[in-house]
Structure 1
Amino acid sequence: MILHSVINFALFQSVWFMALFLENSANFLIAAVLILMLWLSKQRKQDSLLLLLGLSIALCFEYIMVQFDLLGFKSNPYPIWLVLLWSALLLTVNTSMQFLTRLPWYLSCVLCTVFAPASYWAGARFEVITIAQPLWFFWLVYGLSWALMFTLIIFANKKIATYLLLHDRYGH
């Protein structure tokens, strides 16, 4: 189980660095890594459903953040690599980031508020995105918004798991 989580996390990190350094020129390679992540998934059905629902939530969120000028990308409203990066992140929820699903929602929110904006800040440092200034404003507003959005994704993931459990148990 630990090795599986380490591999999942390493694959996500490879996607993150490819997106950061290669942007859209890495889209096919990132897609291949996503296929590998899904193939290695021990809960493929749940991850697939989470990918569909979570990606819808995440991309709507990113679109709103772009509309409010909290962040911006070189392509409007956001590039394909961001969609792929979000897909990779969602494929970590039930594996290497599973600890977030076990925390009380408010602790998960605090962690996301503190750490999620760091990824976007790194992207801004490498000039693949722009973020609202001053930095403290971006970190606070985006961090809190991101945390609430991701908490919704975690909640949806729990509902998906319950649905699949009931479906498997009762064959509906």
Structure 2
Amino acid sequence: MNRNTLNKLVNFVWFQSIWVLAIFTQYQFWWALAVLLVVFFLMTSQPRLDAVCMLLVVALGTLVDSALTLTGMFAFSGPVYGVPIPLWLVALWAGFSLTLGHSLNYLQGRPGISALLGVIFGPLSYWAGARFGAVDFPNSLIFTLIILAVVWGLLFPLCMYVYKICQTRLSPKQVSN
């Protein structure tokens, strides 16, 4: 296994760890979520790029999930602090954003595949969260999953585009010989 593949695998496992912590423990192990995010920034070769992308994607994700919550698509039983969604979900968005240029970077320039994967895995992730009690769907499951499929079919390629723009503007310029 080459170093690039290993880095992608580590990033994928790292994000899955964040997902499991966020969904199963929510606020109980918030410090572990924070540690995982800090460790990422200690290990990344482009902390500025990743930080800017993270802030933009977290803002976008928080806006979208807040809108879905305020329109009655989601209901959370735990506390929320300052935004309509729980902070563990904001942390989950932070973790997701830090996969865009790493384990998911093969999707750059492939909006159709990104959209298809968003249609499938976006709703699947929320449905799994609902099955484990992290979120409730006040509407029917089918209706909620269809809405999430539409949202994620647009949102995932948009997140990939946000990363591409960040990369274009923040990565060191290539010097021609």
TM-score past 0.5 threshold: yes
Q: Which amino acid aligns with 1:113?
A: V
Give the Å deviation of 1:85.
Answer: 0.9
Distance in 1 separating the partners of 2:54 and 2:36: 15
Q: Deviations over 1:121-140 (max 9, x none)?
A: 11111111012432221111
CA contact (8 A) 2:118 2:155 kept: no
Given the alignment, which residue of 129, 134, 148 partners 2:154? 148
Query: Match of 2:133?
Result: 127
Q: Kindly tell me: are residues 64 and 35 of structure 1, through their superposed partners in 2, closer, same or farther at Cα, counting changes over 3 Å?
A: same
Query: Quick check: 34-43 or 20-29, which moved more?
Result: 34-43
- The structure that is helix-richer by fraction is 1
1:119-160 C-alpha deviation (Å, 9 max, x unpaired) = 111111111101243222111111211231232221121111
Separation in structure 2 between the aligned mates of residue 39 and residue 72 of structure 1, nearest angstrom: 35
1 CA distance for matches of 2:8 and 2:122?
20
Supply the distance in 2 between the matched residues of 1:101 and 1:131 (Cα, whole angstroms).
Answer: 32
Q: How does 1:1-172 map to 2 (within 5 A)?
A: 1-74=4-77, 75-76=79-80, 77-103=84-110, 105-165=111-171, 168=173
Q: Distance in 2 between matches of 1:72 and 1:148?
A: 22
Aligned residues: percent identity? 29
Task: Identify which range, 50-59 or 67-76, moves more after superposition.
Answer: 67-76
Q: Give the Cα separation in 2 of the matches to 1:101 and 1:132.
A: 35
Q: TM-score, length-normalised on structure 2?
A: 0.87
Q: Is the 8 A contact 1:109 1:144 kept in 2?
A: no
TM-score by length of 1: 0.90
| More displaced stretch, 43-52 vs 55-64 | 43-52
Amino acid at match of 1:112: G
Deviation at 1:44, TM superposition (A): 1.9
CA positional deviation for 1:39: 1.8
Runs of 5+ consecutive residues of structure 1 not aligned to the other structure: none
Residue 100 of structure 1: CA displacement? 2.3
Please list every run of 5 or more consecutive structure 2 residues that lacks an aligned counterpart in the other structure: none
Cα displacement (A) at 1:66: 0.4
How many Å apart are 1:62 and its aligned residue?
0.7
